[in-house]
Amino acid sequence: MEVDPALWRDLAPDDVKGDEDLMRVITNSQEPDLHAVIKSFAHYERNKGSSVKMPGKDALPEELMQFKGKMAEAGIIALAPQSGAHYTVASMDGLDADVLTAFREVAHSTGITQKQFEKLLEFDIKRMDGINKSLKTDSDATTAALKTEWGDKFDANSELAGRAGAAIFKTEEEMAFFDSSGINNHPTFVKVMARMGAMMQEDPTLLPKTEGGVGEEFMKEALDIMQNAQNPKNERYLRGEGNILAEVTELFRKAKGTKPVDFA
């Protein structure tokens, strides 16, 4: 049924008479007849389910999510998980649970995908491994320099550093942090702790206070060795005898409830 294109506008329903897309189909058709319109409509219906309208710059969040959902269904893009808890990790080795939880929340807030999450996590693990290896490698190389710098005072200074650490670090968690990071073996840190240990030896008021009980008794015993000239171990302590220094450090450990720091 051929119809003059000029008559289409009059034949069309009122609500589509001004539709430019409809008129374009009619005027561009080689056979501007009813068959062309029916064919165009059939194609539209067939593709309508898979078509996606590109959201504009003022699109609402739900419109953007609907658009992204369609793109994801088509396999064009990947979406972030429903929540931070839905990011998965292959292994928890070397990962702190609290840090991982925080990392998941930050990742989800930025909308990254599972694969992007894995890549960032892998990068961060390698970065931290590099930092830790750097600390530990530098320690091995520079401990020898410390021995050269301190000479025959190396053992005594190391003991002072260990004593300061035993007095300052109060929990196993604090000790674990310094052990895992390698800082406790870094020569610069050892120097600082040795100076603190020497200051505590000269002025015991700088020592952290105990909370009484058994810990206080151990602290008093250590201080008596360090300060009381009448104590038979005082002179040996001042000479820097290793076994007496170790005994004082152990007393500090018992007073604070922590193990001594191994700075040697």
Q: Tens digit of pLDDT for each residue in 54-89?
A: 778 888 888 877 787 777 777 787 888 889 999 999
> Is the Cβ–Cβ distance between 135 and 183 less than 8 Å?
yes
Q: Is there a domain that residue 166 lies in?
A: yes
CA dihedral (188, 193, 194, 196) positive or negative: positive
Least confident of 150-154, 167-171, 202-206: 202-206
State both tokens at 142: 């520079």
Say whether both 34 and 141 belong to one domain: no
pLDDT for position 106: 92
Q: Is there a domain that residue 72 lies in?
A: no
Nearest to 184 by CA among 168, 204, 203: 168
Q: What is the pTM of this model?
A: 0.39
pLDDT for position 259: 44
Q: Is there a domain that residue 97 lies in?
A: no
Q: Is there a domain that residue 233 lies in?
A: yes
Q: Is there a domain that residue 263 lies in?
A: no
Rounded (10°) angle between helices 34-47 and 20-28 = 120
Instruction: Please name the residue that has the structure tokens 């015991």.
Output: 204
Q: Is there a domain that residue 113 lies in?
A: no
Q: State which residues form the domain around 35.
A: 5-47
Q: Is there a domain that residue 177 lies in?
A: yes
Q: Which residues contact 123 (CB under 8 A, 6 or more apart)?
A: none
Q: Is there a domain that residue 65 lies in?
A: no
Mean pLDDT rounded to a whole number for the chain: 74
Residue 2: helix, strand or coil by DSSP? strand
Q: Which residues contact 157 (CB under 8 A, 6 or more apart)?
A: 150, 190, 194, 197
Count of domains in the chain? 2
Residue 190: helix, strand or coil by DSSP? helix
Give the amino acid at 204: P
